[in-house]
């Protein structure tokens, strides 16, 4: 089988597939309050096209994990069918999803039955008022119900992703960790990245991993977990001696680009070799022009080969990608 190497010795095996750029929340660090102009349906990949491209990645290019994301992947009508079909590929990839969990209380059993293996739920606060401020929607109860449904459907271990914003929810980090530990959810705190559509990211205002660790350490005894990190973005810490852990994803202050094994496919069929890439490779047009699997695979390999060694956020010449996070697929 072929693979997806780049010039810096990394091989991509983890494919993030964005199924839509639409969302039913408006998280402050991701989207403006008024939303965005959504992708036109003509350029959005059909379910068959998504499955075809994922098949090429899995069967020809060595992808071993497929993570569905967005926008909000639960808004994609064909989601259960897409998961079912990806679960039938050989070799079968691990199938994961990153979601805000709105509506998951209804769909978790069907998704688990279709073959979804694991789930990450984004939750930045367990206080209804703070949740509504960060996401601009009063939907905390739906997320909590979605998390409970994920556990009931066997989608464990459930991971919870949180982004901390100064003056909004940063002080709540210890409370969020206690809440997650009490329910068996594995919390991971992600540094805010310059990927919001409104370009409001400010390095000096960002809550750093170090600050988060300091704050958590005032309430918990944190010690570095000994298991090797590999390509995982989170640095894991044992909480009060374990077995509970908390993950810190310091994408900005302690980048892990050298170990990155990820590649992204957008809902309109563009391959992105990095979250911060400024170029994309158009597989949708190739597909619709009749390209066979071999040609798609070789275009994909070419796209990966030019992956930059790092995201360059600290570089003076850094430019935020034109596509925002909600359209790239986080």
| Binding region for ligand SAM (CB under 6 A) | 23, 29-30, 69-70, 72, 98-100, 122, 161, 163, 190, 192-193, 195-196, 325-326, 330
Residue 326 sits in the site that holds ligand SF4 (CB under 6 A): yes
Ramachandran region, residue 101 (left: φ > 0; alpha: ψ -120 to 50; beta: rest): left
Helix (H, G, I), strand (E, B) or coil at 19: coil
Cα separation, 178 vs 188, in Å, equals: 13
Span interacting with ligand SF4, options 66-74, 78-86, 222-230, 300-308, rule CB under 6 A? 66-74
Shortest distance in whole angstroms from residue 31 CB to ligand SF4: 4
Is 250 within 8 Å of 242 (Cβ atoms)?
no
26 binds, among ligand SF4, ligand SAM, none (CB under 5 to 8 A by kind): ligand SF4
The listed partner (ligand SF4, ligand SAM, none) that binds 31, CB under 5 to 8 Å by sort, is ligand SF4
- Cα angle: 183, vertex 189, 191; to 5 degrees: 165
Residue 84 within binding range of ligand SF4, rule CB under 6 A: no
- Residue 290: both structure tokens together: 């009749």
- Binding partner selected for residue 222 from ligand SAM, ligand SF4, none, CB under the kind-specific 5 to 8 Å limit: none
143 is a site residue for ligand SF4 (CB under 6 A): no
**The entry of ligand SAM, ligand SF4, none that residue 130 binds, CB within 5 to 8 Å by partner kind:** none
Whichever of 37 and 218 has its CB closer to ligand SAM, that residue is 37
- Phi and psi angles of residue 275, each rounded to the nearest 5 degrees, phi first: -55, -40
Q: Which of 323, 60, 53 lies closest to 68 in space, CA to CA?
A: 53
Is 23 among the residues that bind ligand SF4 (CB under 6 A)?
A: yes
Smaller CB distance to ligand SAM: residue 234 or 325? 325
Residues 6+ apart with CB under 8 A from 236: 224, 225, 227, 229, 245, 246, 247
Three-state DSSP at 250 gives coil
Nearest to 162 by CA among 195, 136, 125, 111: 125
Shortest Å, Cβ 216 to ligand SF4:
22
Residues that bind ligand SF4 (CB under 6 A): 23, 25-27, 30-31, 70-72, 100, 122, 326
């Amino acid at each position: 089988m072929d693979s997806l190497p780049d010039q810096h010795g990394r091989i991509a095996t983890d494919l993030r597939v964005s199924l839509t750029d639409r969302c039913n929340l408006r998280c402050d660090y991701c989207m403006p309050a008024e939303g965005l102009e959504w992708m036109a349906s003509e350029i959005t990949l059909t379910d068959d096209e998504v499955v075809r491209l994922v098949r090429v990645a899995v069967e020809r290019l060595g992808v071993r994990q497929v993570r569905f994301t967005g926008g909000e992947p639960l808004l994609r009508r064909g989601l259960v069918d897409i998961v079912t079909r990806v679960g039938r590929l050989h070799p079968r990839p691990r199938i994961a999803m990153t979601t805000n969990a709105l509506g998951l209380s209804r769909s978790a059993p069907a998704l688990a039955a279709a073959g979804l293996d694991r789930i990450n739920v984004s939750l930045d606060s367990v206080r209804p008022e703070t949740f509504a401020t960060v996401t601009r929607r009063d939907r905390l109860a739906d997320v909590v119900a979605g998390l409970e449904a994920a556990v009931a459907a066997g989608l464990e271990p459930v991971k919870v992703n949180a982004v901390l914003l100064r003056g909004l929810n940063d002080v709540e980090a210890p409370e969020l960790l206690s809440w997650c530990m009490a329910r068996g959810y594995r919390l991971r705190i992600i540094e805010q990245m310059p990927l919001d559509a409104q370009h409001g990211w400010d390095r000096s205002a960002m809550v750093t991993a170090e600050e988060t660790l300091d704050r958590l350490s005032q309430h918990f005894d944190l010690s570095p977990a000994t298991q090797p990190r590999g390509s995982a973005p989170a640095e894991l810490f044992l909480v009060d001696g374990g077995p509970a852990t908390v993950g810190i994803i310091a994408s900005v202050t302690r980048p892990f680009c050298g170990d990155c094994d990820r590649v992204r496919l957008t809902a309109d069929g563009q391959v992105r070799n990095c979250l911060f890439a400024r170029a994309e490779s158009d597989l949708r047009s190739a597909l619709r022009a009749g390209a066979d699997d071999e040609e798609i695979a070789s275009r994909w390999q070419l796209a990966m080969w030019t992956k930059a060694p790092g995201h360059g956020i600290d570089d003076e010449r850094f430019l935020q990608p034109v596509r925002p996070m909600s359209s790239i697929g986080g």
